[in-house]
A and B are shown apart, each in its own frame.
Chain A
Amino acid sequence: MPELVDIRPLLAVLASLLCAGAVFTVRQSARWRAFWSLAAAGIKFALVWSMLPGALAGRVYVYQFGELLPGVAFGFRVDALGLFFALVSSTLWIVTTVYALAYMRGSHSLPRFFGFFALCISTTVGIAFAENLLTLFVFYELLTVCTYPLIMHNEDLAARRAGRKYLIYTLSGGGLILAGMIVLYFTTGTLSLAETGILEEAIGRSWLLAIFLLLIAGFGVKAALMPLHAWLPAAMVAPTPVSALLHAVAVVKAGVFGILRTIYNVFGIDLLRDLGYADWLAVLAGTVIVIASVNALRQKHIKARLAWSTISQLSYIVLAAALLTPLAALAAIIHIANQAFSKITMFFVAGAIERGTGKKRVDELAGVGRQMPWTMAAFTVASLSFMGVPLFAGFVTKWYLSLGALQAGEGIYVGVMVISGLLNASYWLPMIYLAFFRPPQTHGQDASPKPARVSPMMVVPILICAAYVILLGAGASAPAMPFSLAEAAVRFAFELKVPLE
Chain B
Amino acid sequence: MSALLSTPLLALLAILVPAGGGLVVLTYPWKRRISGLVMVGLVSLASLAMTVLIARLAVLGIREELVLFQLVPPLRVALRIDAMGALFAMTVAATCALALVHAVGYLPDDKRQWRFHGLLLISLGSMIGLSSAANLITLLLFYELFSLLAYPLIVHERTAAAFRAGLKYLVYILSGGALVFSGIVVVFWLADSVTFLPGGVLPSAAPTGPLIAACCLLVAGFGVKAALMPLHGWVPDAHPAAPAPFSAVLSGVMVAAGIFAILRVLLEIFGPAMLDRLGVLPWLAGVAGFAVIVGAIRAVAEDDLKRRLAYSTISQMAYVSLAATLLNPTALAGALVHITHHAFFKGGLFFCAGSILALTGLRKISRMRGLGRRMPWTGGTLTLLALAMMGIPPLSGFVGKWTLGTGMVETGGFAHLAVILAGSLLAAVYLWPVIYRIWQQPAKDDPCHGIPEGEPWAEPGWMLFAVLAAGLATVVLGIAAGLPGFPLELARMAAEQLLGAPAWK
Contact = CB atoms under 8 A, between A and B. Distances in A.
B263 to A, nearest CB: 21
Range class of the A interface residue count? 20 to 34
A399 B144 contact: no
Contacts of B188: 403
Contacts of B71: 390-391, 395-396, 399, 473-474, 476
Contact of A425 (B69, B70, B74, B174): B174
A415 interface: yes
A476 B74 CA distance: 11
B141 A390 contact: yes
Interface string B163-203: 00000001000110011011001101100000000000000
B458 interface: no
Interface stretch (A26-34, A41-49, A352-360, A416-424): A416-424
Nearest to A398: B181
Contacts of B74: 501
From B70, B140, B178, name the one whose CB has the most chain A CB atoms within 10 angstroms: B178
B152 interface: yes
B72 A414 contact: no
A465 B189 CA distance: 32
Interface string A405-416: 011000000110
Nearest to A373: B27
A144 B70 CA distance: 40
Contacts of B170: 429
B72 A396 contact: yes
Interface in B407-458: none
B189 A406 contact: yes
Contacts of A414: 182, 185-186
Interface string B110-153: 00000000000000000000000000010011001000000010
Interface string A189-213: 0000000000000000000000000
A474 to B, nearest CB: 6
A390 B178 contact: no
A84 B186 CA distance: 29
B73 interface: yes
Interface string A171-191: 000000000000000000000
Interface in B334-356: none
B129 to A, nearest CB: 12
A406 B184 CA distance: 12
A418 B69 contact: no
A173 B175 CA distance: 39
B407 to A, nearest CB: 35
Nearest to A418: B178
B179 A477 contact: no
Contact of B144 (A390, A407, A473, A475): A390
| Residue with the greatest number of chain A CB neighbours at <10 A, chosen from B141, B186, B189 | B189
Contacts of A437: 152, 155
B175 A422 contact: yes
Interface in A347-405: 388-391, 395-396, 398-400, 402-403
A428 to B, nearest CB: 11
Nearest to A396: B72
A415 B75 contact: no
A402 B70 CA distance: 19
A390 B137 contact: yes
B79 to A, nearest CB: 15
A46 B152 CA distance: 44
Given A395-B71, A402-B181, A425-B174, 20 more contacts: A390-B71, A390-B141, A390-B144, A399-B72, A400-B72, A402-B182, A403-B185, A406-B189, A407-B189, A414-B185, A414-B186, A417-B181, A417-B182, A418-B181, A422-B174, A422-B175, A474-B69, A474-B71, A476-B72, A501-B73
Q: Which 10 residue pairs are nearest across A and B when measured between Cβ atoms?
A: A402-B185, A418-B178, A390-B141, A406-B189, A501-B73, A425-B174, A414-B182, A477-B73, A418-B182, A476-B72
